[in-house]
Each structure stands twice: as C-alpha cells, then as structure tokens.
Structure 1
Amino acid sequence: MIGAVGTKMLLAADSGPRLPGVSDFLPPEILFQGTPFAINRIIFIRIVATVLLLIILGVTAARAKLIPGHWQGLVELGMDFVRDNVVYETMGQLRGKRYVPMITTLFFTIFFFNLFGVIPGANMAATATVTMPLVFAIWVLVQYWIAATREKGLWNYIRDECFTPGVPWPVYILLAPIQFLELVIIRPASLTIRLFANMISGHLTVATCLAFAQFWMIESANKLVGVPVGAAWFLGGIMMTLFETFVAFLQAYVFSILATVYINLSYPEAE
C-alpha cells in the first residue's frame, strides 16, 4: 500500500513527511491530455471499477445454477439484503418491486466504487470527488419527482410539500421556500456531500498513517525510536484500512436507504 501512494508520499528527513491533501483528488491527466476525453487517475479508476463490476455480475449471472455455489450465494445474499432490508423494509413488497433494480444497482455500484479506496494500486475511492455522488443523487431526485408526478400530479405534490395543512398562513412565508429547497437542493446535496466527504476523509486518514509510517521507519535518523513509532503508524494504517472497508459498505447502505425513503415520501400514503 505504501508503494501505491507513490510520489504523493515522498518524504524529506529534514522537513517531515509530506502529508496528503486536496490536490490528491485532482491528479494530472494521464490519457488523451488536452482533449475533451482526457482521463486522470480517478476517472480511470471509475472506468476500471465499472468494467470489473459488469464482468463480475455478468459472469455470475451467466453461470448461475439452481443450487448456488459459494460465490453465487454471496452475490444473491447481497441482492436479498438490499431487497428485503432496504427496499421492502421501507416501501413494502407491492410498491418496492418497482424500485428493487434501481436501489440494488445503486448499492452495488457505490459499494464497489468505495472499495477501490482500499485496493492496493488504486487507493482512491471512485466516489472520492463530487461528480459520481452528484450523479447518483440526481438519479434519486429524478426518481422521486417522477414518482410524485405519477402518484399525485406535479402541482399537488409541490403544494402538499410546501403548504402543509394546519400551519398558520404567515408561517408559509418562511416554510414554503425551505420545503421547496429541500425537494430540489437539500436532499440531493445531503446525499452527495455525505458520500464523497466520507470517502475523502477515509483516503486522507489512511494516507496520513502510511506517510508517518514511512517517514519514521525509513527517513528518521534515529532508527531506535523511528522503527517502533513507524510500526505503530503502520498498524494504525492497517486498522484504518479495515475500517474503511466497513465504511465502504456503510455509505452504500446509507445512500441506498435514504434514496428509498425519499422516493417513498413521494407517495400519498407517506405524508
């Protein structure tokens, strides 16, 4: 993992370790420089992650058997988890059937993209910049607006959300704009910021631990002190890597269940 951090973790004994920063998430272009199709490291990771995910699920589906093997059983366990504990638990089976494919796609894509933050050679989640989380959030926004329009009609939905019955009319002056902003901006913004901020913080934490480990174990002049201190930092990096694996799953779960809740709120019964 230290090698994967590459030149970003170059250290100088007289100035201390070079710690990771925001610039890590704006890497230079590595392919098709100067064209509209320019690809930097994080875009390349997204492409690789997408291709691998499609291959894994495609091969699993192509080789599916009536009595599943260990791998097929693991994939089906994940799908059943999303269906039963995210979609059906929130929406119910009758309504949820419509959204099982969408929410399952969201969950698996986000989880797999997040995992690249702890995969050696990548060490950066494909969701660690705002673009991908924003795309996912806009997809959710479009879906709950479509559901609301289909179930209530667009104007009725906006009216019900912005002008809650039973509220004194002067309060609407303040309440209505806030409610409208929640529907259009706050919900997708919260989904976006929550996901990419967690992925950024995880990358920075792991990279910082490894930077200090490399500095103390390799660059420190006092090896008697540096080696045990560096080993402690390295152990911290391993522990944070394991924690980030859990966070990769947790953030996919949180995003998926919030997406399901927002869609469900567009139905009349959820008022």
Structure 2
Amino acid sequence: MGTLVLAAEEFTPPGAGLFEYPPIFGAVTKPMVLAVLSLIIVAAVFTLGTRKLSIVPSRFQFGLESFYNIPRNTMARDQIGSEDFKRYIPLILGLFSFILVNNIFAIIPVIQFPTLSRIGFPIALALFVYVFYHYAGFKKHGFFGYIKHAALPPGVPVFIAPLIIVIELLQKFLVQPLSLALRVFAAMFAGHLILALTAVGAAFLVSAGSALVIASPVVFAAGIAFTFLEALVQVIQAYVFALLAAVFIGAAISEDH
C-alpha cells in the first residue's frame, strides 16, 4: 500500500504549461508554424484538385467537390440566401478548411497540437469574421440603417424597445464574437488536455510498477476512445464556426431582422 500511495503522489498531471512552446527561431513558435503549414496544405489541396477538372471527375476531384458542397450548400446558401450567398463562399470555405486542418493537427503523430487551443488564433479569426459581417451589413443597409436593422427587431412594443435595443447591440457587437472565439478555443484546449492526460496517465501506470500496471490498458483504451471522440469534436467545431459566420453574415445583410 505504501508503494501505491508513493507512486500516486509522484504523478503530475499535465496542465496549462502543455500549451506553452518556446520560440523555434526568433519569435516564431510551433503554433505559428502550424498555422502557416495549414494554409499551405489547404492551398495545395484545392490547387491540385482543381487543376484538371473534368465532367467525369476522378476520385480526388469527386471528394473535393463533395467537401466543397458542405460550406457552399449547408452553410452559405442555406444561411445567407440563394441571391447573395455566392460571393461569400470563398470566406466560408476558407474558414471551414483552415480551422478543420488546424484542429486535426491535434491527432496527427509528431505534430499533436491543435493550433486553435492558443486563444490568440480563435480571437483573430473571430475578429476577422466580426469586421466582415458588420462591414457587409453597413454596405447593404447604410450606417444608420444597419444600426436600426441590428438593434430593433420589427414589431417590438414601444415600452420595451429601449431594453431590446441594448440587448441586441450587446449581442451583435460583443457577445457574438466572444462566443465564436471561446467556443472553439475551449473545445480544442480541453480535448488536447484530456488526450495528454490519458497518455501521461497510461505511461505513469506502466512505470509505477506493482498493482498499478493492471489499470494501464484501461487508461490506454480510454485514450484511443477519446482520440476518436476528439476527431469528431474537431470536425464539428470547424463546421460550427464556419456555419455561425454564415449565420451572422446572413443576419447582417437580410432585409428582415
């Protein structure tokens, strides 16, 4: 029993320090390199996939077209509207692809790090979307027209209009970008921490000796299960981020609130 207690006391679970990387050279860190790498991967895949388009597509072209239809149809067209959605497809497709690749990095051997678990990256993406959809709204409705469009839903009784205006403006100009950034950050941060915990825990149980070794296969199996679950979460979070960007754009340029 003394051995078990001693071993348990020596176990140090991974914490926030897991996400800190020293600069590789100059001020460049691993997450920065991964962000650039993801851009290269996305650009290379779409360049190769569209270089020789044919009526009868190859498997690669068919797969790429199927992937393209997700942001085109279920995000841009459905949320922005059939009249205006085409001009926003590159943005929605780019967001979905970029975030997806960066999220999947978390389960790629050697890389094993989700770029968006560093809060600066989701904040930058959320700010970009924030500026973009408000710009689209101002361009469509004019300055005062867009403020009215964003702040006051039609049919609101006069006596509660001031309260609704405050709530709507806070939601459109503060809550939406914060929730957009924090949602994907929290999911990637927590998921990576759980995967690291299962890996470190399994290795610790093996090295601890005694009866603790018996539990190591269970922890290892849990790590594999969490990896598949995390892969699903990574795809969902990329989808949700791009979908919400389309929803915000659609709301900003719509004729009705």
**Would you tell me which structure has more helix in proportion to its own residues?**
2
Partner residue, 2:217: 231
Deviation at 1:145, TM superposition (A): 1.2
**2-structure distance, mates of 1:123, 1:270:** 45
Kindly indicate whether the alpha-carbon contact (under 8 Å) linking 2:150 and 2:252 is maintained by their aligned counterparts in 1: no
The question of whether the paired residues in 1 share the 8 Å contact of 2:81 and 2:250 is answered with no
1:251 corresponding residue in structure 2: 237
Q: Is the aligned partner of 1:161 residue 2:150?
A: yes
Q: Return closer, same or farther for 1:92/1:168 CA change in 2, 3 Å cut-off.
A: closer
The structural deviation recorded for 1:173 is 4.2
Alignment of 1:163-182 (within 5 A): 163-169=152-158, 171-182=160-171
| CA deviation map 1:60-101 (0-9, x unaligned) | 222444322222221111101221111212233222111111
The answer on whether the counterparts of 1:16 and 1:215 sit within 8 Å (CA) in structure 2 is no
TM-score for both structures, normalised by structure 1: 0.85
Counterpart of 1:25 in structure 2 is: 19
Displacement of 1:258 in angstroms is: 0.8
Mark the runs of 5 or more structure 1 residues left unpaired by the alignment: 1-11, 33-37
The alignment's TM-score, normalised by the length of structure 2, stands at 0.90
1:178 CA drift (Å):
2.7
**Match status 1:15 vs 2:43:** no
Number of matched residues? 252
- 1:221 matched to 2:209? The reply is yes
- Per-residue CA deviation, residues 18-45 of structure 1 (Å, 9 max, x unaligned), is 322112222221211xxxxx11222222
How far is 1:170 from its partner?
A: 5.2
Structure 1 counterpart of 2:32, one-letter code:
I
- Post-superposition Cα deviations, 1:42-61, rounded to whole Å, max 9, x if no partner, equal 22222222222222222222
> 1:167, 1:67 → 2: CA distance?
54
Alpha-carbon distance, 1:181 to partner = 2.0
Q: Which moved more, 1:192-201 or 1:85-94?
A: 85-94
C-alpha spacing 1:270/1:123, structure 2 compared with 1 (3 Å): farther
- Alpha-carbon distance, 1:158 to partner: 0.8
Identity of aligned residues (%): 28
Residue from 83, 101, 104 that aligns with 2:72: 83
What is the distance in 2 between the residues matched to 1:79 and 1:165? 36
